[in-house]
Each structure stands twice: as C-alpha cells, then as structure tokens.
Amino acid sequence: MPSFTSDKFSNFYKRILQIGNSDNSGTPTSTTSIQAGDGTATCASISDDQLHIQPQTDNTTTAVQVAKNGGGAIFQIDTTNDLVKGGVQRLPLNTNYAVFSIDATMGTSYGAGNHYPLIYGGGNYPDKSNPPSFGTSADPATSFTTADANTDRASDIANVMWYVQDAITIDAVVGIEGADAATGDSTNMHLFSYDFTSGATNCLTNGTLLAHNSTVTNAGSEQPYLTSFTIDSADVALGKVIVAFFEPVSINSDYTISMQVKYHLQ
C-alpha cells in the first residue's frame, strides 16, 4: 500500500476518503456520500446511524462481497440480478423448495394420455376413482372449470394448487418417479401457472407453461427415475397458482411421483 510519508499533499489527496459535506460539521445525521479527496463519489454513503451502498456507474454481481480468509466468497449482494447470495454455493438466501406428489394407490384410475395434477404439500384425491384431468393434448389445458360432477368439483382441485403469495423465480425443477409393475410406460411431467378466480366456476384461466421434462421411458418397478426439467418461464407473479402434472402415455403401471420445485422470492 502506498505511503503518505514525506510526500506532498497534492500527490495523494485523491487517495483520501472524505464525507461529502462542505461545512466541516463532522459525522452527518443523514446519509452523505463518501468521496475521494477530489470530490468523486464512491458507491457508499454514511451517517451516524446508516450505511448505504449504491453503485455509481454500473450494477455488478458483487456490489458487496464477504470472503473467507482463503478468498472464497460466502456472502454477495448482486445488484445486476437483484439477489442476495450466501454460503459456499452462493445461493439466493431466500431459496425455498415446494413439493408436489402422489403415491401409486392414487393413480389406479388414470387413463392413458391424460394430464393429472399432483397433490401440493401432501394429501389425497377426494375421489381416487375419479381424479381430475386437464385433458389429453400435448400439454395440460390452459383453463379448468369446476362443476357439480365427478372429476370437476372444487374439492377435486383445491389441494393441487399452490397459491403464490409473493412473486417468485423458479430456479430448477426435478421429478422422481417409480412404477409399481414389471412393465412401465412412457411418461411426461409439466409445471403450469394459472390465474385464479375465487368463487367462480371458471376458476383457472390463462395457463402458462413454466417447466417440462423430456419423456421418460420407464422400464417398470425395478428402478426409479430422476429427471430434470427445462425452465420455460421462470418468473411467477403473486396471486397466481401453480399446478404440477403427470401424464402416463400408456397404462401398464401405477406411479409414485415427487416433483420438487426450487425457487426464490423476488
């Protein structure tokens, strides 16, 4: 580090930090820029009670960083992506996980090519003989209307919906599946968001594909399968609901499914 010893003030004043007030009043009571000796502002402002950091020129992924003595960062503030990260892996500190699942006893009435919603957070279909279906197209239907009929009652879908109470960003999705018979099937999984209208029969509308996996060729009950998803639309606004789907292309086995969603709050 350079020394000021025996040097003229004009040679080092730009290297001295100052509080940007001009009246020599000492530590300010409101945040005031910390500046170089020539008045150039840094990213930091300070008062008697606060420290404020704001980039002057560019946002960066390491606007604030804390590292171990060996050099590895364990805390970062990323103003480029609006994230606060921590730990050895430097994950967003508000990383969370949501789980959708069914067990093999719940899919005994599944039909080939149908998109069946998984249960969010545990539980069962109210009527296992008539599980709700979101159609047989390549992707699940983008809307769902309830009625007083098998598969369509409000009770059939209330526990398949994850209501998003704060805006989130999906970071990763994985699915684990296991068949209960020697012969398996090709299977697909999807993750969708919907607009939710409380108290209406057209309760789910404006379906949007969030993520999907590649078709799994399941060889049967001797082995479970792990599959990763492609993220199609990562950001989900507050007030949406998220629904996870499983599609057996044929029906040789019943399946236990766990879909795990990794996300962070925006």
Per-residue model confidence as pLDDT tens for the chain (266 residues): 577 777 787 777 787 888 877 777 778 888 888 888 788 888 888 888 998 888 988 999 888 888 888 888 888 888 898 878 888 888 888 999 999 999 999 999 999 999 999 999 988 999 999 999 999 999 999 999 999 999 999 999 999 999 999 999 999 999 999 999 999 999 999 999 999 999 999 999 999 999 999 999 999 999 999 999 999 999 999 999 999 999 999 999 999 999 999 999 99
Q: CA distances (Å), 216 to each of 101, 107, 189, 229, in order?
A: 17, 17, 9, 11
The Cα 67–Cα 55 span in angstroms is: 20
Single pTM value for the model = 0.85
Residues 6+ away with beta carbon under 8 Å from 228:
172, 173, 174, 213
Return residue ranges of the chain for CATH 2.60.120: 95-265
95-265 has CATH 2.60.120 classification = yes
Cβ pair 247, 113 in contact under 8 A: yes
State the DSSP code for 214. Answer: P
Q: CA distances (Å), 131 to each of 79, 102, 151, 155, 251, in order?
A: 45, 11, 5, 11, 15
Residue whose C-alpha is closest to residue 59's, from 74, 75, 77, 38: 77
Segment holding 157, helix H or strand E? helix 154-157
Cβ pair 206, 62 in contact under 8 A: no
The Cα 147–Cα 155 span in angstroms is: 10
Cβ pair 255, 102 in contact under 8 A: yes
